[in-house]
Amino acid sequence: MQLKPLIIASLLILALSAHAQTIPPETIQHGPDWPNWAYGEIGPYSPGDEIAPPCPENASPLECAYYGAPPEKGGPKYTLEDSTQSFEVAEADNDFGPGDWYPQDHPEMPDLVAYGDKEREIRACSMCHYASGQGKMENGHVAGLPVNYFLQQLEAFANRERYSADLRKANPNEMGRIAALLTEEERKIAAEYFASIEYKPHVTVIEADEAPQVRATMNGLLLPLEGLPKQKLGQRIIEVAEHPERTELLRDPRAGFIAYVPIGSIAKGEALVTTGGGKTIQCGLCHGEGQRGLGDIPAIAGRTASYIMRQLWDVKQGTRTSPIMVPVVANLTAEDMLNITAYIASLDPTN
């Protein structure tokens, strides 16, 4: 039992000291097992598809994003259950001060989290990740992340050591420019704020043969299409907003997601996660009991399936630098990763 802390400490030192090179995007190929669903894409990448805006060193964050016209002001006011607030869509979706439905769910927000910095075109952290840090399937879940890990990832984004393997996804490009523009003090303020908030259950995993048909939003949110017959699930995960309007338009941080996963995938994933299955190591050696984190290694239990799979796939493709994770995913197939993802997403992050 004395060996485990030693292994973890060694891996952490390696992760902090290594500086791996990233793979040029043009060398990344989309094979038949590519998990488009994890990137909020309905179909495979094809040459000529619209890709995320280029992000030169002197660009502003918004130049690196899919940035449409803001919603028109003056619409009706909406309310949500258990919230004393009311917002029109333009207020809920304000890049530099989005509506905060549940102030009771988090400590007082620092200005960077609540408003961002309009002059530098840094959108409020709460715009994408919510004031509570819960995040959505198309971005990251930052509530409860260890401060040191949070700071490491900001540095990785800023140094282009973490970006999307799918060239159609723009969020990581914008995040890279935001991280590069933040001062050390601003990074620390954001890290300490989100570390102080508990991540709560956010996804329901259902094993099924079929799933709803979906449409994809600009940045990778999948929404179910009502009134249409279901589609065959096949060897993929279809993850959708449980309450589409509340998530897409009102940005309700309590509205969760439903992940439809192949039948049997949870049990297969559990076997890989808990034993390694002869292909990898037990995830709990680093991520702790119940995958709820250990030291500076983050919790992964109960994160959305899309997020989990993207991270595994990005590491496998070389677009997310992680000396700890590279050997972990080296022998895993896309199917193995899907099964691991289904199991981890099904875990209760608080229990």
Looking at residue 25, its pLDDT comes to 54
Give the domain extent around 77. 65-195
Looking at residue 24, its pLDDT comes to 53
pTM beyond 0.85, yes or no: yes
Evaluated on CA atoms 73, 133, 154, 161, the torsion sign reads negative
Looking at residue 212, its pLDDT comes to 98
Q: How far apart are CA 264 and CA 74, in angstroms?
A: 49
Structure confidence by residue, pLDDT tens digits, 66-81: 887 888 899 999 999 9
Beta bridge partners, 204, equal: 258
Q: Above 60 in pLDDT, residue 13?
A: no
Q: Answer yes or no: is 343 within a domain.
A: no
Looking at residue 48, its pLDDT comes to 76
Contacts of 89 (CB under 8 A, 6+ apart): 71, 75, 78, 249, 250
CB 192 within 8 A of CB 149: no
Q: Answer yes or no: is 162 within a domain.
A: yes
Looking at residue 29, its pLDDT comes to 60
DSSP class per residue in 3-46 = HHHHHHHHHHHHHHH--PPPPPGGG----TT--GGGGT-SS---
Where on the phi/psi map is residue 20: left (φ > 0), alpha (ψ -120 to 50), or beta?
A: beta
Question: Out of 31-35, 78-82, 213-217, which region has the weakest mean confidence (pLDDT)?
Answer: 31-35
CATH number, domain at 75? Answer: 1.10.760.10
Q: Answer yes or no: is 218 within a domain.
A: no
With tokens 């995320």, the residue in question is 52
Q: Answer yes or no: is 2 within a domain.
A: no
Q: Answer yes or no: is 119 within a domain.
A: yes
Q: How far apart are CA 155 and CA 175, in angstroms?
A: 11
> What is the average pLDDT score of the chain?
91
Looking at residue 21, its pLDDT comes to 39
With tokens 């260890």, the residue in question is 146
Looking at residue 70, its pLDDT comes to 82
Backbone angles phi, psi at 211, to 5 degrees: -145, 165
Structure confidence by residue, pLDDT tens digits, 113-169: 999 999 999 999 999 999 999 999 999 999 999 999 999 999 999 999 999 999 899
Kindly state the helix (H) or strand (E) to which residue 66 belongs, with its residue range: none
Residue type, 95: D
Where on the phi/psi map is residue 76: left (φ > 0), alpha (ψ -120 to 50), or beta?
A: beta
What percent of the chain lies above the pLDDT cut of 90?
82
Q: Answer yes or no: is 112 within a domain.
A: yes
Looking at residue 219, its pLDDT comes to 85
Looking at residue 55, its pLDDT comes to 86
Burial class (CB in 10 A: 0-12, 13-18, 19+), 5: exposed
| Structural domains in the chain (count) | 1
Q: Above 50 in pLDDT, residue 174?
A: yes
Question: Out of 56-65, 89-98, 115-124, which region has the weakest mean confidence (pLDDT)?
Answer: 56-65
Three-state DSSP class for 204?
A: strand
